[in-house]
Structure 1
Amino acid sequence: MENKDLELGDMENTIHKRAHSFLRDVENEHSLNEEITPSIYMTPHTLREVSPQSFSPRVVSIGPLHRDDENVQAFQGQKATYLIKLMKHITSPTQETIMNSCMEKVYASMKKIKACYVLKRVYNDVEFTEMMVMDACFILGFIYETFEKNSPDMSHANDVVRDLVLLENQIPFFFLKEIFECTIAKLMPNTSLVQFMHRFLKILNLFDSDVDFSIPENISVDSPHHILSLLHKCYKPHKDNINREEFSFTKRHSAVDLDKAGVSFKPKRSHSSLLGMEMEFPCFLWSWCKCTLRMPVLKVHDLTEMILRNLIAYEESSQTHYYITSYAFVINMLVNTQDDVAKLIDSEVLVNEMGSNEEVANMINKICKEIAVVNSLYHQQWETLDKFYNSYWPKQIGGIRRTYFSSPWNIIALIAAIFAFALTIVQTIFTIRDNK
C-alpha cells in the first residue's frame, strides 16, 4: 500500500513539474510572439491556389521557406559566386574579419531572426547562420554587381529580381541592414541601405507616372519588414489623401459602359502620390457633360501579375494598409473584356507590354479572386462615379449611344433616317405651298 502511495506521489510530482515546465514554455513563446510578430510566411492557401506560380521562386531561394525546393538547388553555386565577388571588392578589413562580423550578427539576433518566420522545419544554429549570411550577402552582391557595377552577366537577372520580391522569399530587413554595414557600407560609405535599394526597386514599379518613384524619406530600419515591405511603402499615399473607409465594390461598371455614359479616363496629373485618383467635372452643367476619372497609368508586362499578387498577399497577411488591393479592385471593376482593355489603352491609363488585350483582361479579371477588401482608398471616388453613372442624363445619353452609335451600320442607318425625315418635311412644305 505504501509503495502504491509512493508511486502515486511520484506521478503527481512528475505531472506537477511537467505542467509547470509546459506553462513556462507557453509563456515564453507567447512573450516572444508578442515582441516579434512573424512577417515572413507562406501565402494564404486561398490566394496561392489561384496562381501558385506567382508565389514560388523560379531560380533562387532566400531564407528557409523554400530552401529545400528542388528547382532552386542549381543556383546555390551562383550564390557563393556573388558572395566571393562581394568580399573581393572590399580591400579592408580582411575577408575573414568581414565574415566573422557577419556570423556574429546572426548569433546576436538568432531568436529575433527566427521569430520573423513561420518555419516549416527546425534548423540548428550553425545551419541557420550560414544560410542567413549566404543569402544576405548574395542579395547585396547581386544588387551591387547588377545595378552599381552594371555587370554584363544578365542571363538570370530578371528571374532573380522576380524572386527577390516574393512574399515567401524574404529575410528580415533589420538583419539585411546589419550585413550591409559589414560589407557594402565599406564600398559606399555615404549610402544607406534604403538608398542602395532604390534602383533595384525602381524597375519593379507598377506604374508609369510623372510622380518620381521614391522610397519614403527618413524611413527607420525597423519600419519595413523586408524588401517586399519596402516596395509596398513606395506606394503609400500622402497622409492628407488617405481616405480609408469600409467599402465593397458590389456595383460593376466597365470602362466601356462608363465611356458610353460620358466618363472619360485620363492619366493622373497630380504629383501627390503614385496611386492617386481624382474625379473631375466641368464647372457648369456637369450632369450634361463628360466627367473625367484621372488615374495611375498601369504598365502590364510579364512581372505585373506577380508583383500585384505578392503586394496584395502582403497586405492581406500582415493586416497593413490596403493600398495595392484598393487599386486592384478598381482596375478589376473597369475591365470585363478585351474591349475594356482597349478603351483604357486608348485613354492612356494602361500600357500593354504583355501580349494581346485578351491576355491582359484575363489577368486583371483574376487578380482579386478570393480577396475581400475591407478598407478602400477610393471609396469617395467610386461613390461619385456611381452617382454620376446612375443620374438621369448620363443614362439617357448612354442609351442613345448604345442604340444609335454602337456600330458604323447603326450610325449610317441613323443618318439615313434623319435624311429621309428631312426630305419628308421638305416635301410636305412644298405640297402645302402647291395646294395654296
Structure 2
Amino acid sequence: MGGDLFMVRDSFMLENQIPLWLISLIYPDYKSLLCCYLSGIVFGDQRMQTLPWENGVGREPTHLFEALICAYLSPHETQKNSTTPTNSLRVFKKYIPFFMRYIQAKEKKSRSRTTWKMINNSFRSATDLKAKGVHFRRSSNCLTDIKFFSFAFYAELHLPFSYITYNSMVFFSNAIALEMSPEAGYSTYGMTTYFTFMKTLIHNVNDIKVLREKGVLYSLLATDEDVVALFKSIDTFGFAIEDYFTDVKERIEDHCNSKCRTWMAELINTKFKSPWTVMALAAASFLLCLTFLQTYYTINPATN
C-alpha cells in the first residue's frame, strides 16, 4: 500500500514522465490501461471508458502526466442540473418573468466595463459569497466547468469537484509548472486558471468548510487548516486566462454589488437562519390575522 502511494506521487513529477508511445509498445491494450489509471486518479473509480482526446477534446498528450491533466480538463460526466439552475430557480423564472428581464437588463448594462475594471474585480471568499446569498453547487469533474446563475435575492455558483490528497501539492505544482513551461506553447492554462480562481475563494478554514459541505472539495488531509495551507503554498502569481471565467466574475460582481439582493440575503441569513424563527414568524402572522378579524367583527358584528 505504501509503495503504491509513493509510486503515484512519483508519477506526478515532470522528470519521471513516461512517453505514451513507450507504454503502447510495452502493453498492447494500453488504452484500457490508461483509462483505468486516469479514472482511478480523477474519479476514484473505473467509470472512464474512452480516453479524453479520442472524443475530439484537445490533442493527444505526449506523456502520462500530460494525459492526467487532459483528463482533469475534459468533461466525462456531468451531474444532473450541474450547469443549469435548480428546480426552484426555474419555477421562479417561470412565474416572475418581469423581474428576470429587469435584472438581466441591469446586468447587461453594468457589464460594459473597461479592461482595468475587469482586471481589478473585487472578489470575495466563499464565506463572503455565502453571506451575499450565493449558494454553492457541484458541477462536474472538468476543472474549467465553473458557472454562475444570478436571480432576484438568490444566486448559485457551480464549481467542479476536486479531491485534495497528500499528493495534491506535487500534482498541482507540477501541472502549473508544465503549463508555464516554454515548451507548452499549446497549453490552455486550464489548471493554472482553475487554481487561481479557487485561491480567491479560499482564505480560511470557514471557506473550506463551506465548499466541503457542498461536495465541491473532498479532503483526505487531517484538518481544514492543512487544505488552506496547501492552497496558499502553491503560487500562481495571479496568472489566469480571463476568457475562462470573465463572465462568471462579472456576474458575481453584479450580484454582490446589488444592494437589494444583499439586503435580502442578509435578512434571510440573520433573521431566518433557523427554522424555528420561520415557524415563529408564521405563528405570529397567524395570530395577528386572528386578532385583526376578531377586532373587525367586534366593531362590525354580523347581522342576520
TM-score (norm 1): 0.47
Q: Is the 8 A contact 2:52 2:74 kept in 1?
A: no
Matched, 1:331 2:198: yes
Amino acid at match of 1:276: D
Matched, 1:276 2:122: no
Equivalent of residue 369 in structure 1, options 207, 212, 235? 235
The residue number in structure 2 matching 1:140 is: none
The residue number in structure 1 matching 2:98 is: none
The residue number in structure 2 matching 1:124 is: none
Per-residue displacement from partner, 1:99-123 (whole Å, max 9, x unpaired)? xxxxxxxxxxxxxxxxxxxxxxxxx
Equivalent of residue 228 in structure 1, options 43, 65, 85? 65
Q: Alpha carbons of 1:406 and 1:337: their partners in 2 closer, same or farther (altered >3 Å)? A: farther
What displacement does 1:378 show?
Answer: 1.6
For the residue of structure 1 that corresponds to 2:53, the secondary structure is: coil
Matched, 1:191 2:18: no
Matched, 1:200 2:37: yes
Matched, 1:359 2:226: yes
Amino acid at match of 2:16: Q
Equivalent of residue 179 in structure 2, options 298, 302, 315? 315
The residue number in structure 1 matching 2:213 is: 346
Structure 2 unaligned blocks of 5 or more: 76-114, 297-304
The residue number in structure 2 matching 1:62 is: none
For the residue of structure 1 that corresponds to 2:16, the secondary structure is: coil
Percent identity of paired positions between Structure 1 and Structure 2: 19
Per-residue displacement from partner, 1:173-198 (whole Å, max 9, x unpaired)? 55x62xx37xx64x75x524x54333
Structure 1 unaligned blocks of 5 or more: 1-153, 239-244, 282-286, 430-436
Matched, 1:304 2:150: no
Per-residue displacement from partner, 1:346-388 (whole Å, max 9, x unpaired)? 2121222212222222222x15535231413222112112211
- After TM superposition, list the pairs within 5 Å mapping 1:8-157 onto structure 2: 154-157=1-4
Matches of 1:267 and 1:232, distance apart in 2: 20
The residue number in structure 2 matching 1:260 is: 131
Equivalent of residue 159 in structure 2, options 289, 295, 317? 295
The residue number in structure 2 matching 1:159 is: 6
Matches of 1:259 and 1:208, distance apart in 2: 32
The residue number in structure 2 matching 1:388 is: 255
Matches of 1:359 and 1:394, distance apart in 2: 34
Q: Alpha carbons of 1:396 and 1:303: their partners in 2 closer, same or farther (altered >3 Å)? A: same
What displacement does 1:403 show?
Answer: 5.6
Amino acid at match of 1:159: F
Amino acid at match of 1:257: D
Equivalent of residue 170 in structure 1, options 16, 30, 33? 16
Q: Is the 8 A contact 1:329 1:368 kept in 2?
A: no
Q: Report 1 or 2 for greater relative contact order, CA contacts < 8 Å, sequence distance ≥ 6.
A: 2
Larger Rg: 1
